[in-house]
Amino acid sequence: MTTTHPLFQITAIPNSGLGAVATAPITRGTLLISEAALFLLTADFLTTAAANAGIAAKLRTLSPPQLHAFLALTNAHTADTTHPFAGIVRTNALPCGVDAVECGVFLTCSRFNHSCNPNANYCWNEKTRQEVVHAVKDIAAGEQISVSYLDEEATNYPRAQRQQRLKKDFGFECRCSVCSGDAAAVAASDGRRSEVGRLDALVGGGRLMMGSPQKALGCCKRMLALLGEEGIQDVSLYRTYYDAFQICVAHGDLARAAVLARLGVAVKVACHGSEAVEDELWTYIRSPEKHRLASMSRRWATKVGDAKEIGSEGFEEWLWARAR
């Protein structure tokens, strides 16, 4: 089976079933697809005993070609012979946003294969009520397009734990470039990811931000370096920039806060598209003082006009001058 789209085709991938392969060079930030759901479900359809009956009702609304395409999707839960429809949905459904109460089944978006170092990112666009996939790296023609099936926490697990999660939830052993490296490469990757998880927990707790902001900023700087070493260019970068933004804005450093907001928004636009960027994030680029944490302390007081231009000589040193 081969299905062609403007920038990629869905085709057979050795040892991986069907997957998406780029048919032309794709640049970071490119929208690959915006797809309406075949059908939407409330999240409890994945766990309740009534799941199969509820999903069957949805399937009766589909055309014969749509039903055939749904039944052709992978079911990683074949051991549960009582609920085959629910198994397909559990394997392929995508959440409709953060903390979503709905999930959707998408015939094309469900065909993107997993990588622990993906070159694309999918997310729900609430404005269009569609699932969108953007390239988060430059992708060469003939290269497979991959997304991550793991949540933020599991992304930072060591290889063995990631494999366990993927096997349990999706029924496959990951053979991506990160997981198939030699022992030394896997150990180095595990170390970087574990350290990102540890630092993220330190910063996310909030106490470090107010009690030792220099150290908190240092954690952010280190996370960005580790993510760079891993080759990760997805929303993990945005979350780290936003943490650093909050640290600076809380202590009155509006110059660095404005720059960090701009860097974070640039990542989010590349990963999610400009439509998905919340209005307040654009506001923080111009007026970081409008953030709820602004100037809880004045220890680092600066003005937005004091900011150094991104990419200018000495920019990185200036941006992280307060980190330790």
| Residue 16, CA atoms < 13 Å, CB-side half-sphere | 20
Q: Which residues on neighbouring strands pair with residue 20, listed in sequence order?
A: 10, 145
Single residue among 129, 146, 170 that ends a domain in this structure = 170
Mean pLDDT of 40-52: 68
Q: Are 124 and 156 found together in one domain?
A: yes
Domain contains 178: no
Model pTM score: 0.91
Mean pLDDT of 197-215: 93
Mean pLDDT of 252-273: 97
Single-letter residue type at 148: S
**pLDDT for position 90:** 87
Domain contains 8: yes
Q: What is the mean pLDDT of the chain?
A: 92
Q: Are 108 and 194 found together in one domain?
A: no
Mean pLDDT of 224-233: 97
Mean pLDDT of 163-179: 93
Q: Are 54 and 95 found together in one domain?
A: yes
pLDDT at 126 over 90: no
Single residue among 109, 136, 170 that ends a domain in this structure = 170
pLDDT at 2 over 70: no
Contacts by residues 274-283 (CB-CB < 8 Å, ≥ 24 positions apart): 275/125, 275/127, 275/128, 276/123, 276/125, 276/126, 276/127, 276/132
Angle at 34 between CA 30 and CA 35, to 5 degrees: 155
pLDDT at 46 over 70: no
- pLDDT (tens digit per residue) in 131-159: 999 999 999 999 999 999 999 899 999 99
Mean pLDDT of 92-101: 84
Lowest mean pLDDT among 75-84, 87-96, 161-170: 75-84
Domain contains 176: no
**pLDDT for position 191:** 98
Range of the domain at 278: 183-319
Lowest mean pLDDT among 57-61, 244-248, 265-269: 57-61
Q: Are 163 and 220 found together in one domain?
A: no
φ and ψ at 314, to 5 degrees?
80, 10
Q: Which residues on neighbouring strands pair with residue 120, listed in sequence order?
A: 135
Q: Which two tokens stand for residue 164?
A: 């366990």
Mean pLDDT of 161-186: 94
Please give the span between the terminal C-alpha atoms of the chain, in angstroms, as a whole number. 54
Domain contains 134: yes
In the chain, % of residues over pLDDT 90: 77
Domain contains 177: no
- pLDDT (tens digit per residue) in 8-29: 999 999 888 899 999 999 999 9
How many domains does one find in the chain? 2
Locate the DSSP E strands across 155-207.
Answer: none
Q: CA of 167: how far to CAs of 44, 279, 281, in Å?
A: 22, 39, 37
Check: CB of residue 163 under 8 Å from CB of residue 174.
Answer: yes
Which strand (E) or helix (H) includes residue 124?
A: strand 120-125
**pLDDT for position 50:** 61
pLDDT at 82 over 80: no
Q: Are 8 and 151 found together in one domain?
A: yes
**pLDDT for position 76:** 87
pLDDT at 219 over 80: yes
Task: Report the C-alpha gap between 249 and 255 in whole angstroms.
Answer: 9
In the chain, % of residues over pLDDT 70: 97
Domain contains 21: yes
Task: Report the C-alpha gap between 197 and 272 in whole angstroms.
Answer: 23
pLDDT at 48 over 60: no
Beta strands 113-114 and 144-147 are parallel
pLDDT at 36 over 90: yes
pLDDT at 193 over 80: yes
Task: Report the C-alpha gap between 265 and 282 in whole angstroms.
Answer: 7
φ and ψ at 78, to 5 degrees?
-70, -20
Q: Are 29 and 67 found together in one domain?
A: yes
